[in-house]
Amino acid sequence: MALADLESVERAINRLSRAAKSGDKQQQARLRLAEKVASVLADGKPARVCELTEAERPWLKELQLITAKPLMYVANVDEGGFQDNPLLDAVCAYAQAEQALVVPVCASLEGEIARLPEAERAEFLADLGLSEPGLDRVIHTAYTLLGLQTFFTAGVKEVRAWTVQHGATAPKAAGVIHTDFERGFIRAEVIGYDDYIRYGGEQGAKDAGRWRLEGKEYLMQEADVVHFRFNV
């Protein structure tokens, strides 16, 4: 994959070299980035390990390189293999060098958990020293790698989870539900998830002073429970 990416970057370098001759500073900066990435790829390393400035990160995305994509390893271990496991340690060291993440799971345990009644799963996991099933850890790690977070809308008939990027504003989050919500955004009624559960829903959170109105500049937080006000 690194060799395939190197071919793509070399083509970009040829194209950018011609454009940079005009003196365009932006094209010159992109050329320097491409040359930096090419050097990393030529060493057989993935593009994701290349040290970039904040300004360079969007340009790297434009190159659409396979080895620049986030990577996660799922390591299947036995029941006692979560701690003091040299094989798992080797996988973690390899992943760290690639700026990737590792999620250890035990497939046999996951099978047992899946067959248990919902009420018994928490106790079973606690006995194993685990806080959640391996599948949940894989999902959380994937969200972390992709820079994603979840918010909720809760009505009388249904509760729904929605996915947005970290750093998304309230109008952007509203647009995930419907473009009209973003276009006509007025305000967002927001309750933190923990407060929503602790106080028994919207009215309880309001009574406890944990309900708030947020405007267009509000940055969504993980697990916000939101009602969007809009007008189109």
- pLDDT tens digits, residue range 53-91? 888 889 998 999 999 999 999 999 998 888 899 999 999
Distance CA 182, CA 186 (A): 9
- Which pLDDT band holds residue 195 (cuts at 50, 70, 90)? very high
- Which pLDDT band holds residue 32 (cuts at 50, 70, 90)? very high
Distance CA 22, CA 213 (A): 51
Distance CA 92, CA 35 (A): 29
Specify the higher pLDDT residue, 55 or 164.
Answer: 164
- Which pLDDT band holds residue 183 (cuts at 50, 70, 90)? very high
Q: Give the per-residue pLDDT at 128.
A: 79
Q: Give the per-residue pLDDT at 149.
A: 97
* Mean of pLDDT values over 145-173: 95
Domain architecture of the chain: domains with CATH: 2-68 (1.10.150.300), 72-145 (3.40.50.300), 148-230 (3.10.20.30)
* Mean of pLDDT values over 204-226: 97
Instruction: Say if residue 24's pLDDT is above 90.
Output: no
- Torsion sign (Cα): 100, 106, 111, 112: negative
Q: Give the per-residue pLDDT at 127.
A: 84
Specify the higher pLDDT residue, 165 or 156.
Answer: 165
- Coil, strand, or helix at residue 104? strand
Distance CA 152, CA 172 (A): 14
Distance CA 117, CA 43 (A): 51
In whole angstroms, how far apart are CA 17 and each of 5, 22, 43, 160, 214?
18, 9, 22, 49, 47
Distance CA 150, CA 170 (A): 13
- Which pLDDT band holds residue 119 (cuts at 50, 70, 90)? confident
